[in-house]
Amino acid sequence: MRMVLDETGIESHVARIHADGYTVVEDAIEPELVTKLRDTIRRVERERGVQPLGTGMEGRATLRMYNLLAKDPAFQAMPVHPNVLGVVDRMLDPGCLLSGMTSIDIGPGEHEQPMHGDDGVMSHHLRRPHAPMMVTSMWALTDFTSANGGTRFVPGSHGWPATPASRNRPIDVEVRSLEMAAGSVMIFHGSLWHGGGANTTSDDWRLGVNVQYCPGFVRQQQNPYLGIPPEVAAGFSDRLLALLGYPLYLGVMGHVDGRSPGEVVFGERMAEVAYRDVERQTGDRAAGTAGVDDPTRLDAADGA
């Protein structure tokens, strides 16, 4: 295991994300794990005959795979890695969800991906700047350079009222290219303007994995309940199952006839009854009002 971030380390990364929209945790991942993940992705790409998906966002010379947890057990180590999840938990809360996992293998000749924010869908409904509706970690499994497609991003743009698609967006912005060594991880606020870079090399494939998280009350981008067969999910750790949304969020959200999804699928292992714990925690008979005094609520800021 690499050195695990301590409290001070976590706090300084979180402060950087709040200020600049992103941070880079250098040397975050054990070299053996980087090699294992890289080899696994390249093998699965070959076995499945993965081809470029051919859209502007997904790329015409890029190999992408979604729903990685269903594709190989090696990927289970990623969402729960302490050097990433420690920071994400602090940005969101420990009830946050895995929103999606995508391998992005940018090949020679690929063009720049259009700039976007990962929580752009939510920015349609919320006044920007807003709390992160997604936190993305971009794992470098090969070195990222400005020539091979290192992520392009605009520092500080998470705090702007405009998205890259807004009519009144600023035009003359500072775009940086992310250069980081394999084993480093960029963690960023979902509103940060960014996109994959062009690969201008003749033979240097850039392999990264996007591991994305969202608050527990937001819809996940990739659907794990249908994407991951229950017999595969049964082998996951409790923390990983929590990240997929099998427990209830704040004792309420996601219930199935008053039970957690985890209880419906896995029985006693994840038994949880909706509303009961909320009543116990708040002493409030009207469990639907749980959390009204919490200043982190989205509407608390505008006094709604």
Ligand X SMILES: O=C(O)CCC(=O)C(=O)O
Q: How far apart are CA 142 and CA 131, in angstroms?
A: 31
Report the nearest approach of ligand X to the CB of residue 204 (Å).
14
Measure CA 50 to chain center: 22
Task: Work out whether the CA dihedral 43, 185, 133, 245 comes out positive or negative.
Answer: positive
Q: For 256, which DSSP code?
A: B
22 and 153 Cβ atoms separated by less than 8 Å: yes
Q: Which residues in 4-23 contact ligand X (CB under 6 A)?
A: none
- Count the residues of the shown chain that bind ligand X, applying the rule CB under 6 A: 9
Residue with tokens 């497609």: 149
Nearer residue to ligand X within complex by CB, 96 or 198: 198
Q: Which stretch binds ligand X (CB under 6 A): 12-20, 122-130, 190-198, 279-287?
A: 190-198
Residue with tokens 């060594």: 181
Nearer residue to ligand X within complex by CB, 104 or 241: 104
Q: How far apart are CA 294 and CA 280, in angstroms?
A: 16
Tell whether residue 164 is a contact of ligand X (CB under 6 A). Answer: no
What are the helix and strand counts (H, E) for the chain?
A: 9, 9
Nearer residue to ligand X within complex by CB, 210 or 260: 210
Q: Work out which of 196, 216, 247, 254 binds ligand X, going by CB under 6 A.
A: 196
DSSP string, 115-151: PB-TTHHHHTTSPSS-S-S-EEEEEESS-B-TTTTPP
Q: Which residues pair with 214 in a beta bridge?
A: 97
Q: Work out which of 13, 158, 194, 255 binds ligand X, going by CB under 6 A.
A: 194
Tell whether residue 52 is a contact of ligand X (CB under 6 A). Answer: no
For residues 20, 25, 26 and 28, what is the CA-based torsion angle, rounded to 10 degrees?
A: -170
Q: Which stretch binds ligand X (CB under 6 A): 79-87, 194-202, 255-263, 264-272?
A: 194-202
For residues 151, 152, 157 and 163, what is the CA-based torsion angle, rounded to 10 degrees?
A: -90
Report the nearest approach of ligand X to the CB of residue 86 (Å).
22
Largest CA distance in the chain: 65
Q: Which stretch binds ligand X (CB under 6 A): 16-24, 68-76, 165-173, 189-197?
A: 189-197
Site string for ligand X, 201-240 (x = CB under 6 A): -------x-x------------------------------
Q: Work out which of 14, 37, 68, 104 binds ligand X, going by CB under 6 A.
A: 104
Q: Which stretch binds ligand X (CB under 6 A): 2-10, 123-131, 191-199, 248-256?
A: 191-199
Contact footprint for ligand X (CB under 6 A): 104, 113, 138, 151, 194-196, 208, 210
